[in-house]
Amino acid sequence: MQPSSSNFKPNAAAALADSTLQRALAKARSGFQSKRARARSELPEFDALCEQAKDIKNHTLAHLDLYLEIFEQKVTESGGRVHWARTPEQARKLILGICKEAGAHTITKGKSMVAEEIALNPALEAAGFQPVETDLGEYIVQIRKEVPSHIIAPAFHLTREQVEADFRRTHLDLDKDRSLTKPEELVAEARGILRDKFVKADVGITGANFLVAETGSSVIVTNEGNADLTHLLPRVHIVLTTIEKLVPNLSDVSGILRVLARSATGQDISMYTTFMTGPRRPGDPDGPEAYHVVLLDNGRSEMLGAEFQDMLRCIRCGSCINHCPVYGAVGGHAYGWVYPGPMGAVLTPSLIGVHEAGHLPNASSFCGRCEAVCPMKIPLPKMMRHWREREFEQGESPRIQRMSIKAWSWLARRPQLYRRVMGPLIGLLGEWGKRRGNFRWLPMAGQWLKHRDLAAPAGRSFHELWQLEQNRRIREADIRR
């Protein structure tokens, strides 16, 4: 997908003004939070399991080269093939090659954020294939020619009425007077339409939630069962995934699965968790005849051993997104690329560059909720701060902001001078704002104050108050003595 992350500010402004979007967001957001809280409270070991999940991933990342080699060997032993792609372009080429070799026409797809990352659908279409998204939410955004707005709920930004209108617009063979007012009716209609595609498909492409080195398996988690029909029915199955999805063994997957669904949708476990290991075996009556795993790097190996390595622990549960006040206000599309919310604000600059995505780490109120609800204990706010520093160093932030920060930091490193400049300034602001208690406008901060008020300072700086407090304590101690 073509990134538009550099437009975060206008994107966000447009999202705030979009009343339909605001209605959809309001309906959707509260559910996820209360469900996760309940699931967590029902499993006393939840926090310990998160700590363990973090350790499992840290161990895997520290030995990633070795686990990848074992994984490749196990896939090959089970009759499958592993392909390596450094860039999105290479991954697209590999997949197009497999589809051509299979003489494919219809290609079913399970939800895959990596497929979005490499803009796979446009490439498949350009090469004459018909890719069909089979996850209901992903299917809806596909017929709207949009992209997912949430990593686990692609149609998070839409109301039922919008989906109804899209189905009436695109499913022209069906009775015009049919009722489509209930979600059940919409789901049933999509089931009917997609069943036909499942049967026709020559190639199925899915992502993977985990890769297991012990057995060479790809693990995929869904509620709909669409990934399973994508895996089982076509002649060829391609798993498109990335190198950091690895875990050592089946016990490790079991441990992480205990926190995945609970963090994501608040379920104890999703309806279907599937372990796919190679093609159908001789004599098997169903399953794919050929099985490929495309392993994409796309910048991830460069995150190892550096300040953003922790981000590679992410299991894409979406919890940080569900709890983010900024995402809750503007939705996913404002972020302008595949990964929205706090995890996107950290990951996107790593994958497409700080020049393109430098605004995203600023789209945070630093409330810290994302880190608190992340089952993999990823220090998201700290990493957003790292990106802000990088953006600053590379001169990507606006001039006036850079100059003020520079001036302030110069001043702050000179305590005497700082006090002499800031003392009177704070006194002045305190006097000025005394009556109202806050400011609605200040020179050079008009934009910032447009949607918030700044509390007026108490008229004395922290330094002064601290000094007073110290003096008071000394006096009291003197009296007692």
- Report the interface residues with ligand SF4, using CB under 6 A: 314-320, 343, 374-376, 378
The tokens describing 28, both together, are 């959707």
**Residue 378 C-beta: closest distance to ligand SF4, Å:** 5
Residue 328 found at the interface with another protein (CB under 8 A): no
Chosen from another protein, ligand SF4, none, partner binding at 32 (C-beta under 5 to 8 Å by type): another protein
What are φ and ψ of residue 173, in 5° steps? Answer: -75, -10
Among positions 34, 126, 128, 302, the unique one binding another protein when judged by CB under 8 A:
302
Query: Does 363 contact another protein by CB under 8 A?
Result: no
Report d(CA 36, CA 255) in Å as an integer: 17
Which of the listed partners (ligand SF4, another protein, none) does 384 bind, with a CB threshold of 5 to 8 Å by partner kind?
none
- 343 binds, options ligand SF4, another protein, none, Cβ within 5 to 8 A by partner type: ligand SF4
- Taking CB within 5 to 8 Å according to partner kind, which of another protein, ligand SF4, none is near residue 315? ligand SF4
Cα–Cα distance measured from residue 194 to residue 207, given in angstroms and rounded to the nearest whole number: 19
Among 65, 389, 431, 469, binds another protein (CB under 8 A): 65
Nearer of residues 55 and 464 to another protein, judged by Cβ: 55
DSSP string, 337-374: SSS-HHHHHHHHHHHH-HHHHTTGGGS-----HHHHH-
CA-closest candidate to residue 326, choices 3, 2, 29: 29
Least separation in angstroms between residue 52's CB and ligand SF4 is 14
Q: How far is the CB of 260 from another protein (least distance, A)?
A: 12
> Residue 131's closest CA among 108, 110, 112, 102?
108
Distance CA(328)–CA(320), nearest Å, equals 11
Compute the least distance from the CB of residue 234 to another protein, in Å: 12
279 binds another protein per the rule CB under 8 A: yes
Least distance CB 435 / another protein (angstroms) = 46
CB 345 within 8 A of CB 364: yes
> Does residue 429 touch another protein according to CB under 8 A?
no
CB 274 within 8 A of CB 63: no
Residue burial 422-440, b: 16+ Cβ < 10 Å; e: rest:
beeebeebeeebeeeeebe
Find which of another protein, ligand SF4, none residue 14 binds, CB within 5 to 8 Å per kind: none
User: Segment contacting another protein (CB under 8 A): 123-131, 208-216, 342-350, 393-401?
Assistant: 208-216
Task: Give the per-residue contact string, 87-116, with another protein (x = CB under 8 A; - = no).
Answer: ---x---x--x-------------------
Angle, helices 183-200 vs 160-170, to 10°: value is: 40
Segment lying near another protein (by CB under 8 A), choices 180-188, 341-349, 382-390, 409-417: 180-188
151 binds another protein (CB under 8 A): no
Binding partner at 302 among ligand SF4, another protein, none, C-beta below 5 to 8 Å by kind: another protein
Contact with another protein (CB under 8 A) among 6, 11, 112, 274: 274
Binding window for another protein (CB under 8 A); candidates: 183-191, 372-380, 419-427, 431-439: 183-191
Report the Cα 307 to chain-centroid distance in Å: 19
The yes or no reply on residue 39 touching another protein (CB under 8 A) is: no
Count of alpha carbons within 13 Å of 329, Cβ hemisphere only? 12
- Chain center to CA of 15: 18
Residues 6+ apart with CB under 8 A from 40: 46, 262
Of residues 230 and 319, the one with the C-beta less far from ligand SF4: 319
Cα 93 off chain centre by = 25
Q: How far is the CB of 210 from ligand SF4 (least distance, A)?
A: 13
Binding positions for another protein, 253-272, rule CB under 8 A? 254-255, 257-258, 265, 268-272
| φ, ψ for residue 113, nearest 5 deg | -70, -25
Q: Count other C-beta atoms under 10 Å from residue 258's C-beta.
A: 20
Q: Per CB under 8 A, does 297 bind another protein?
A: yes
DSSP 244: G
